[in-house]
Amino acid sequence: MRLVLLGAPGSGKGTQGEKLVAHFGIPKISTGDALRAAVKAQTPLGLTAKAAMDAGDLVANEVVYGIVEERLAQPDAQKGCILDGFPRNLAQAQVLDTMLTRIGKGDIDKALHLHVTDEEIVKRLLDRAQKEGRADDTEAVIRHRIEVYNAETRPLLDYYGKQGKLVKVEGVGGLEEIYQRILGVLK
Ligand code: AMP
Rounded alpha-carbon distances, angstroms, from residue 16 to 82, 133, 138, 154, 179 = 11, 23, 25, 19, 6
Q: Is 2 a catalytic residue?
A: no
Q: How do residues 28-74 score in pLDDT, each as one tens digit?
A: 999 999 999 999 999 999 999 999 999 999 999 999 999 999 999 99
Q: Provide the Cα torsion 74, 75, 80, 86; round to 10°.
A: -10
Q: Whose CA is nearest to atom 23 of ligand 1?
A: 58
133 within 8 A of 35, measured Cβ to Cβ: no
Ligand 1 pocket residues where CB is under 6 Å? 9, 31-32, 35, 52-53, 56-59, 64, 85-86, 88, 92, 145
Q: Which of 2, 71, 88, 124 is catalytic?
A: 88
pLDDT category, 137, cuts 50, 70, 90? Answer: confident
Q: What mean pLDDT, rounded, does the chain reach? A: 95
Q: How do residues 2-36 score in pLDDT, each as one tens digit?
A: 999 999 999 999 999 999 999 999 999 999 999 99
Q: Is 181 a catalytic residue?
A: no
Q: Which atom of ligand 1 is nearest to the CA of 84?
A: 3
The fraction of the chain above a pLDDT of 90, given in percent, is: 91
Residue 104: predicted pLDDT:
82
Q: Per the omega criterion (within 30 degrees of 0), is the bond before 87 cis?
A: yes
pTM value is 0.95
Q: Which atom of ligand 1 is nearest to the CA of 145?
A: 10
